[in-house]
Chain A
Amino acid sequence: KQEVTQIPAALSVPEGENLVLNCSFTDSAIYNLQWFRQDPGKGLTSLLLIQSSQREQTSGRLNASLDKSSGRSTLYIAASQPGDSATYLCAVNDYKLSFGAGTTVTVRA
């Protein structure tokens, strides 16, 4: 059974600082890995999807890396803004999604 862990559970940074969010998973036989953003009481917004054959994926200020052999992914958010405050979820797709518990980010103005 796939186990997904996200560290840290919570993070508070001043505006402008770069964010580094970590995700680890136990079974490397995956199709892809997705990073989602969830605002309080809301649904999930897909941020990035990295296919199992890729090492990296970028979208604007967001960059995600994937090291399938070691079961790790990292989401980098450059030059954080208060609007980046949310919970970030990592989900591993081996046809079904297995979610980590999330990292709650607060960006202080």
Chain B
Amino acid sequence: SAVISQKPSRDICQRGTSLTIQCQVDSQVTMMFWYRQQPGQSLTLIATANQGSEATYESGFVIDKFPISRPNLTFSTLTVSNMSPEDSSIYLCSVHTSGSLYEQYFGPGTRLTVT
């Protein structure tokens, strides 16, 4: 298994500003994933972050809006840029275990409210 922490746990931000969310894992992992959960909705994958290479973004998400860093095998950041109220969501990072199971574990999430 993996233990994942995220900072901050919640924040209230003004439109037009940016917020960087940190994700720390207690073991080295190859792939880290960032998800968004809009109010009342299920989870949507934003991007996959590999250490040492650029993140791979899903359809509908772009690097200028959601830049991601992955400086080492235990840490990643997601920035939500030029925020608008539509960005109000829970942002979650996750990892999957090595080997064939690919079981995924999630952090506690960051609850973002944009006013």
Partner among B48, B92, B105, B111 whose Cβ is within 8 Å of the Cβ of A96: B48
Q: Tell me the number of A-to-B contacts counted with CB atoms below 8 Å.
A: 53
Q: How far is the CB of A104 from chain B (nearest CB, A)?
A: 10
* Stretch of A36-44, A66-74, A77-85 lying at the B interface: A36-44
Output the least CB separation between B4 and chain A (Å): 8
The secondary-structure label for the interface of chain A is strand
29 A-B pairs with C-beta separation under 8 A: A31-B100, A31-B102, A32-B101, A32-B102, A32-B103, A34-B103, A34-B104, A36-B106, A41-B111, A42-B108, A42-B109, A43-B92, A43-B108, A43-B109, A44-B92, A44-B106, A46-B104, A49-B101, A89-B42, A89-B43, A96-B48, A97-B33, A97-B94, A97-B104, A99-B42, A100-B42, A101-B41, A101-B42, A102-B42
